[in-house]
Amino acid sequence: MAVTSMIGARIQRREDPKLITGHGNFIDDVSLVNMAHMSVVRSPHAHARIRSIDTSRALASKGVVAVLTAADFKGVILGPLPVTNSFVADKKQVPEQFPIAAEEAVYAGEPVAVVIADDRYLADDAAQLVSVDYEPLPAVMDLEKAMEPGSPLVKSDRPDNIGWDAAFPAGDIDAAFAEADFVLKERIGQQRVFPTAMETRGCVADYVPYDNRCTLWTSTQVPHFIRLFVGGALGVPESQFRVVSHDVGGGFGAKLRPYPEEYLATAASKITERPVKWIEDRTESLQATTHGRGQIFDVEVAAKRDGTLLGLKFTQLLDIGAYHGVFSAFQVVACLLGGGCYEWKAINARSIGIFTNRMSTDPYRGAGRPEATHLVERVVDLVAREIGMDPAEVRRKNFITAFPHTNNFGLVYDSGEYEKSLDRAMANIDYPALRKRQEELRAQGRYTGIGFSTYVEICGLGPSSATAPAAGIALVESSMVRVHPAGSVTVSVGTHAHGQSHETTFAQIVADTLGVPYDSVEIRHGDTGDTPFGYGTYGSRSLAVGGMAIMASCHKVVEKAKKLAAHAFEASEEDIVVDHGRYFVRGNPGEAKALAELAFASYGAGLPEGMEHGLEAVSYFDPPNFVWPFGCHICAVEVDPETGAVSIDRYVAVDDCGNVINPMVVDGQLHGGIAQGISQALFEEVQYDDATGQMLTGTMLDYLIPTMAEMPHFELDRTVTPSPTNELGVKGIGEAGTIASSIAVINAITDALAPFGIKHVEMPARPDRLWSMIKEARA
């Protein structure tokens, strides 16, 4: 008998027993006979001409199979890395990036040679013996200087350092500003951060020469994407190229593109006729896995003294790095969402993408929405401070209240109840008591602060009508549902998982929709050899798009099962009732057939006239709109004015992601997401030396990843406003925590330092930074 109502059940992840007992299958667990190992020789310079490379000593080193440079890969890797057109279809400059530098290295960490050896120790030994003659060139590191005419160039064959310059005007901005009682200006930064996955990248390539066939095991969010591009560049048709990604230990957006090393390992396997393994070490990871954020916003807000928001002007300066990330321009979405959950008469945004001699930036958990939220929530607090109004009330006064709501840029927010989540969060933290306590502590010379973040975000990427024109790809999703003769169910999907619990939550959906036991449903993903084409997992899309593709296949299976039941009962299909996986003739529930029985029949003899055998379906789902989660986070902090150290006293979150499939999984996503946002607010920053372009944060000793000890207790709560966009009524929750949290912390710190007259604090709010600000304010 099927367990009913799995959707919404707080059940434990079926992934966990395997993972927590060490039985996961990560990339370094893949081992093949005769496998060689790759070590990558990387440029130590941010910018240098490569005069020559001497590989002779490395070649003579113990256990070395091959030492390969750009010249060796020419003719094997046939094309450059891909770049999508997200939001900026008319990019100014799209320089081609090849997986290995030939004449000019343009970021510290760029591959210049690879060593293939019998084991990784020997490969690393030999890598130290590869002698590269570099001529250092000026490193372009400062965004504004890079834009100036006559600036040194990131790469010598480019006309300038501008990747794009795009305007996003919406409404009569001059009229909105003319109406204002006051205008405030601020510069708001988004430091570069590293999407730190517990499992670094890595791959194993096995090219079989006699039939031009290749299998590539890789740690990725997008196996089908990798197959399309790496296979294409290597001249192996998709039918012959299989990408396998088993368990993935985190991605956060940094594993949603094909990387140079995947091309290099595959090509090296082709050249050496051996399987080739490459595992990224942590220092390589910090240097050569894409970074997130890296932006500056110059913003002006026009408002009235009664708290009414009127107009918003801002320019996003985005540090592209040396080459476009595959999806780097996606982060321009910050411009379209800069208005947040508020009514504006007009918004005028501009995005300038600027090349620098750094690693590329690409989406990182939230990708554009944390930036937009940080911007608008900072601006609202500036307005509140200016007019002496409670920040909660400025928000309340300007909330969008009617749905669906078309924002200034034409995006349609599907559903929302912003005031409700604000009220709930304020009640949960006991806001009046907290303010009273703040007043008492200030009298004692203690500095506490309260910070709000009321956010709305776009996810469920996305409708082909929007994504195809914006990004050049239609972000639909796929599923294949197959009911086997004895009733167990295999579901193959085009999405993948790198911690999202799809094996659990997708099975919950299928169990309810087909009316079969949860344990009888197996979810398969990550292997292009047995899954339908899909675009992978990012942008909180897997449930709202991928989950709906599963629903579509389940519906087809149920339709066919009804026909089988009608045939078995010699009844009309219209008279068949389906109740929790039991099929019976209306009025006669006692004589029912389970789906397993109908599945068995579907593979047997005596099918209805014209019916094919089997019980399975394939579906592709193209959503009608994006989905729009929202919520309110409130953070309470205390700052030690003598050391600048920040402690988080409370963290309350009320999130609304529509209907919930598994509350435990949603809570887990929020925990991780909030932690990453807090971490950006307080700790993380990828730092390069401004003059030389050397990375200063090349190990985990320097780059700060917080631990449980730095995190407050998360007080989670939710409201449920179902999405009208899809049948499940779901939105997304993978990124919401990160989108909301950094600004809740920063607004709280700014509030704590209000007695010093401090109005704005940049991230990360390091103790030394706050100490300097307090010292300056006191002087």
Partner 1 sequence: MFPAAFDYTAPGALDEVLSLLSQHGDDAKVLAGGQSLIPLLKLRFAAPVILVDIGRVDGLEGIRRENGHVRIGARTRHRDVESATELRGTLDVLLDAAPLISDPLIRNMGTVGGSICHADPAGDWGAVMLAVGAEFVVKSASGERVLPAAGFFEGPFTTGLRSDEVMTEIRIPVGSGRSGGTYLKLERKVGDFASVATAVHVVLGGDGRIAAAGIGLCAVGAHSIKATAAEAALVGQAPSDELIAEAARLAGDAAEPKADIRGSAEYKRDVARVFVQRGLHTAINRAQGATA
User: Could you tell me the smallest distance in angstroms from the CB atom of residue 499 to partner 1?
Assistant: 22
Tally of CB atoms within 10 A around 670: 25
Select from 157, 141, 135 the least CA-distant residue to 48.
135
Q: Which of 42, 45, 47, 120 binds partner 1 (CB under 8 A)?
A: 120
Interaction mask 418-437, partner 1, x per CB under 8 A: --------------------
The Cα 653–Cα 631 span in angstroms is 8
The order of strands in the sheet holding 582-585 is 576-579, 582-585, 592-594
Q: Which of 5, 121, 133, 647 binds partner 1 (CB under 8 A)?
A: 121
Could you tell me which stretch among 124-132, 502-510, 569-577, 624-632 binds partner 1 (CB under 8 A)? 124-132
Instruction: Evaluate the CA torsion angle 560, 563, 569, 572 in order and state its sign.
Output: positive
Select from 761, 478, 506 the least CA-distant residue to 635.
761
For position 4 contacting partner 1 by CB under 8 A, the verdict is: no
User: Could you tell me the smallest distance in angstroms from the CB atom of residue 121 to partner 1?
Assistant: 5
The Cα 681–Cα 743 span in angstroms is 7
Q: Which two tokens stand for residue 696?
A: 């200063």
Task: Determine how β-strand 202-208 pairs with β-strand 213-218.
Answer: antiparallel
Q: CB-wise, 563 or 766, nearer to partner 1? A: 766
Q: CB-wise, 85 or 697, nearer to partner 1? A: 697
User: Could you tell me the smallest distance in angstroms from the CB atom of residue 124 to partner 1?
Assistant: 4
Question: How large is the C-alpha radius of gyration of the chain?
Answer: 28
Q: Which of 696, 720, 776, 777 binds partner 1 (CB under 8 A)?
A: 696
DSSP H or E stretch at residue 136 = strand 131-136
Q: Which of 131, 283, 428, 490 binds partner 1 (CB under 8 A)?
A: 283
State the burial class of residue 7 (Cβ atoms within 10 Å of its Cβ: 0-12, 13-18, 19+).
Answer: middle
User: Could you tell me the smallest distance in angstroms from the CB atom of residue 186 to partner 1?
Assistant: 24
CA–CA distance from 269 to each of 76, 102, 114, 277, 742 (Å)?
11, 20, 12, 9, 43
Q: CB-wise, 213 or 766, nearer to partner 1? A: 766
Q: CB-wise, 430 or 702, nearer to partner 1? A: 702
Q: Which of 645, 664, 672, 722 binds partner 1 (CB under 8 A)?
A: 645
Q: CB-wise, 79 or 706, nearer to partner 1? A: 706
Task: Determine how β-strand 213-218 pairs with β-strand 241-244.
Answer: parallel
Task: Please write down the HEC assignment for all residues of 433-444.
Answer: HHHHHHHHHHHC
Is the peptide bond preceding residue 370 cis, with omega within 30 degrees of 0?
no
Reduced to 3 DSSP states, what percent helix, strand and coil does the chain have, rounded to the nearest 5? 30, 25, 40
Q: CB-wise, 103 or 702, nearer to partner 1? A: 702
Contact between 732 and 459 under an 8 Å Cβ cutoff? The reply is yes
Furthest C-alpha separation in the chain = 92
Interaction mask 727-766, partner 1, x per CB under 8 A: ---------------------------------------x
Select from 733, 543, 499, 664 the least CA-distant residue to 19.
499
Instruction: Evaluate the CA torsion angle 241, 244, 249, 251 in order and state its sign.
Output: positive
Select from 51, 233, 253 the least CA-distant residue to 136.
51
Q: Which of 701, 757, 778, 779 binds partner 1 (CB under 8 A)?
A: 701
For position 707 contacting partner 1 by CB under 8 A, the verdict is: yes
If DSSP codes are grouped into helix, strand and coil, which group holds residue 315? strand
Q: CB-wise, 317 or 695, nearer to partner 1? A: 695
Select from 201, 41, 198, 14 the least CA-distant residue to 111.
41
Could you report how far apart the first and last alpha carbons of the chain are, in Å?
Answer: 74
Q: CB-wise, 25 or 687, nearer to partner 1? A: 687
Residue 387 has φ and ψ, to the nearest 5°, of -100, 5
User: Could you tell me the smallest distance in angstroms from the CB atom of residue 55 to partner 1?
Assistant: 20
For position 706 contacting partner 1 by CB under 8 A, the verdict is: yes
Q: Which of 126, 359, 704, 773 binds partner 1 (CB under 8 A)?
A: 704
Q: Contacts with partner 1 in 760-779 (CB under 8 A)?
A: 766-768, 771-772
For position 642 contacting partner 1 by CB under 8 A, the verdict is: yes
For position 395 contacting partner 1 by CB under 8 A, the verdict is: no
Q: CB-wise, 285 or 478, nearer to partner 1? A: 285
Q: Which two tokens stand for residue 639?
A: 């700052």
CA–CA distance from 612 to each of 491, 607, 616 (Å)?
20, 8, 10
Contact between 81 and 99 under an 8 Å Cβ cutoff? The reply is yes
For position 131 contacting partner 1 by CB under 8 A, the verdict is: no
Q: Which two tokens stand for residue 359?
A: 């690693």
User: Could you tell me the smallest distance in angstroms from the CB atom of residue 165 to partner 1?
Assistant: 33
Q: Which of 118, 124, 390, 717 binds partner 1 (CB under 8 A)?
A: 124
Instruction: Tell me the number of residues near partner 1 by CB under 8 A.
Output: 30
User: Could you tell me the smallest distance in angstroms from the CB atom of residue 162 to partner 1?
Assistant: 30
Q: Which of 125, 300, 377, 656 binds partner 1 (CB under 8 A)?
A: 125
Amino acid at site 331: Q
Could you tell me which stretch among 213-221, 327-335, 396-404, 697-705 binds partner 1 (CB under 8 A)? 697-705
Q: Which of 96, 690, 702, 727 binds partner 1 (CB under 8 A)?
A: 702
Contact between 354 and 318 under an 8 Å Cβ cutoff? The reply is yes
Q: Contacts with partner 1 in 26-45 (CB under 8 A)?
A: none
User: Could you tell me the smallest distance in angstroms from the CB atom of residue 450 to partner 1?
Assistant: 24
Q: Which of 23, 185, 187, 282 binds partner 1 (CB under 8 A)?
A: 282
Q: Which of 485, 687, 729, 762 binds partner 1 (CB under 8 A)?
A: 687
The Cα 222–Cα 528 span in angstroms is 10
Crossing angle (nearest 10°) for helices 736-752 and 663-682: 40
**Alpha helix (H) ranges present in 210-356?**
223-226, 232-234, 260-272, 282-288, 333-336
Could you tell me which stretch among 117-125, 313-321, 556-564, 726-734 binds partner 1 (CB under 8 A)? 117-125
Could you tell me which stretch among 355-363, 555-563, 696-704, 752-760 binds partner 1 (CB under 8 A)? 696-704
For position 406 contacting partner 1 by CB under 8 A, the verdict is: no
Q: CB-wise, 289 or 726, nearer to partner 1? A: 289
Task: Determine how β-strand 36-42 pairs with β-strand 111-117.
Answer: antiparallel
Q: Which of 643, 727, 776, 777 binds partner 1 (CB under 8 A)?
A: 643
Could you tell me which stretch among 291-299, 321-329, 525-533, 693-701 binds partner 1 (CB under 8 A)? 693-701
If DSSP codes are grouped into helix, strand and coil, which group holds residue 328? helix
User: Could you tell me the smallest distance in angstroms from the CB atom of residue 711 to partner 1?
Assistant: 10
The Cα 473–Cα 242 span in angstroms is 21
In this structure, what DSSP letter does residue 257 have?
S
The Cα 292–Cα 680 span in angstroms is 11
Could you tell me which stretch among 177-185, 448-456, 658-666, 692-700 binds partner 1 (CB under 8 A)? 692-700
Q: CB-wise, 35 or 94, nearer to partner 1? A: 35
For position 518 contacting partner 1 by CB under 8 A, the verdict is: no
Q: CB-wise, 10 or 62, nearer to partner 1? A: 62
For position 699 contacting partner 1 by CB under 8 A, the verdict is: yes
Could you tell me which stretch among 201-209, 244-252, 276-284, 380-388 binds partner 1 (CB under 8 A)? 276-284
* Residues that bind partner 1 in the complex, under the rule CB under 8 A: 120-121, 124-125, 128, 281-283, 642-645, 683, 687, 696-697, 699, 701-702, 704-707, 709-710, 766-768, 771-772
